[in-house]
Structure 1
Amino acid sequence: MTKLAIVELKLLTREPGAMFSLLIPLFIMVVFGSSIGPGDTVLLPMALAIAVGLVGLYMLPTTMATYRERGILRRLSITPVRPVNMLVVQLILQLVLALTACALLVTVAGTVLKAHLPAQVLPGVLVFLLGTAAMFAIGLLIAALAKNGRSANGIGVLLYFPMAYLAGLIQPADQMPAFVATLGAYTPLGAFRQSLRDVWEGGAPSPLLLAVMAAYAVVISIAAAKFFRWE
């Protein structure tokens, strides 16, 4: 499994989508951060949510659906390296990619933009894990239902932009109609963004929003496991 992880890591570093997932949130944060004060608690949580969303809805499903389309998972089923090992390795590597993107954002925000960083680390870690689990669950469901890598890519993009809008990543939630903003707060990405902002503002994340993210992660993961095909 270690050799498989090394090979997949090399492939991931050559994947243009991985660089896209790292640079797009950073670009957004730097461009808009230049006009926002150092005490801002909105932009960095938004950028973090964007980064995790891109990995979960774009990179993960496209990779897994492409591997199934090319018969890689089917061929692994007759070798000592079982297909489930590939799934585990991909989940770990995509998590590492999301962590790298978020670490890059926090580092640049804290050093270059002098952005506000939360004093409490553990609540932020909890929110990150639950939000990432929810987004990855959606990515796995896309991979389970998509016929090939191209359709997984398309479904991920089609889901990402409406979810990003409802979550307040495209238009601030306080500028939306009240009903839309309330609805968006209970989407996976919206709950993730709002919980991150709560942490950044020095408060505790809402237990209700934490439960929402956990519920999405569990329910959608079960659905993904039910529909996932190895070939």
Structure 2
Amino acid sequence: MRKYLTVLSVEGRVSLRTPEGLMFGIGMPMAVLLLISMLAGNQVVKTGDYTFLQSSYPALVTVGICATAFMGLPLTIADYRDKKILKHFFTTPTSPLFLMSIQVVLCILLALASALGVTGVAVLVLGYRMPGSWLGFVSVYFLVMFSMYSMGMMLASLCRTMKQANLICNLVYFTMLFLSGSVIPFEIFPERMQKIANMLPLTQGVRLLKIVSLEGLRSLPLLPLLYLLLFGIIGIIVSVKTFRWE
């Protein structure tokens, strides 16, 4: 445990040297929430009996997860592989799971800070009140986190070089961010685009968070829950099987 905490502390200090993660993971979703609230926060969504604020809050809490899962975890591991840092770790009694878990914990802390920031703005500044279940919301949030980070771990293992990781992670990140409904309200997408976007795991995660925040646990559909759980398990298995030190 002492070894783990030491490495975690060092990696945490290193991550603070790049403020981009804090800006896009924490600052951006709070700014978008304020913008949506000013433009259409109290307006009722045409496809439901809830406001844009009630629809946007559960979507924007996933931005921190998306940013860290696809622009944090895989890029850090790919950078370490490029710089032969992983090769040096190979000579020590350190497992891939140990290194991955360190990065995942740091990503979780950043994502939680993002979610708390968005929640603080929504509740304290905009007067948001959740009609559904807070307990169910938190549970689904961690399921979405599990699914997204397993995908990030998979990309970290499959991408061999930093150039490859940059290309693939940017593609996945912006696709997830803009098509899942995290930033742009899913309700305004054309029907054809909605059908394509529904195949993304983050889209299902945002959908589940909206349902549980508006209606509670009893209204949660089982199939998307199983989809996210299965996606997460497969991602972890693939990442462990395909991990390379160099």
Q: Is the TM value for this pair above 0.5? A: yes
2:77 is matched with which residue? 64
Q: Residues 208 and 82 (structure 1 numbering): CA distance in 2 closer, same or farther, change over 3 Å?
A: closer
Deviation at 1:122, TM superposition (A): 2.2
Deviation at 1:23, TM superposition (A): 1.3
State the Cα deviation string for residues 19-44 of structure 1 (Å, max 9, x = none): 13211212211222223129631111
1:106 is matched with which residue? 119
> How far apart, in 2, do the equivalents of 1:44 and 1:200 lie?
9
Q: Residues 153 and 25 (structure 1 numbering): CA distance in 2 closer, same or farther, change over 3 Å?
A: farther
Q: What is the aligned counterpart of 1:222 among 214, 232, 237?
A: 237
For the pair 1:153 / 2:174, whether they are aligned, the reply is no
1:73 is matched with which residue? 86
Q: Residues 70 and 198 (structure 1 numbering): CA distance in 2 closer, same or farther, change over 3 Å?
A: same
Matches within 5 A, 1:48-197: 48-117=61-130, 120-169=133-182, 171-197=184-210
> How far apart, in 2, do the equivalents of 1:32 and 1:55 lie?
23
Deviates more, 1:58-67 or 1:7-16: 7-16
Deviation at 1:81, TM superposition (A): 4.8
Aligned to 2:160, what secondary structure does the other structure show? coil
Q: How many residues align?
A: 231
For the pair 1:3 / 2:9, whether they are aligned, the reply is no
State the Cα deviation string for residues 146-202 of structure 1 (Å, max 9, x = none): 232343233111112223343233543333343432442342110111011112203
Amino acid of the structure 2 residue aligned with 1:64: I
Deviates more, 1:203-212 or 1:100-109: 203-212
| Deviant stretches of 4+, over 4 Å | 80-83
Aligned to 2:76, what secondary structure does the other structure show? helix
Deviation at 1:3, TM superposition (A): 0.9
Deviates more, 1:211-220 or 1:197-206: 197-206
2:47 is matched with which residue? none
> How far apart, in 1, do the equivalents of 2:5 and 2:230 lie?
32
Deviates more, 1:61-70 or 1:142-151: 142-151
Q: What is the aligned counterpart of 2:213 among 197, 200, 217?
A: 200
Contact 2:100 2:153 in 1 (8 A): no
> How far apart, in 1, do the equivalents of 2:17 and 2:178 lie?
30
> How far apart, in 2, do the equivalents of 1:12 and 1:143 lie?
17
> How far apart, in 2, do the equivalents of 1:154 and 1:33 lie?
33
Q: TM-score scaled to structure 1, two decimals?
A: 0.90
Q: TM-score scaled to structure 2, two decimals?
A: 0.85
Deviates more, 1:35-44 or 1:192-201: 35-44
Q: Residues 225 and 118 (structure 1 numbering): CA distance in 2 closer, same or farther, change over 3 Å?
A: farther
Contact 2:21 2:67 in 1 (8 A): no
> How far apart, in 1, do the equivalents of 2:125 and 2:70 lie?
29
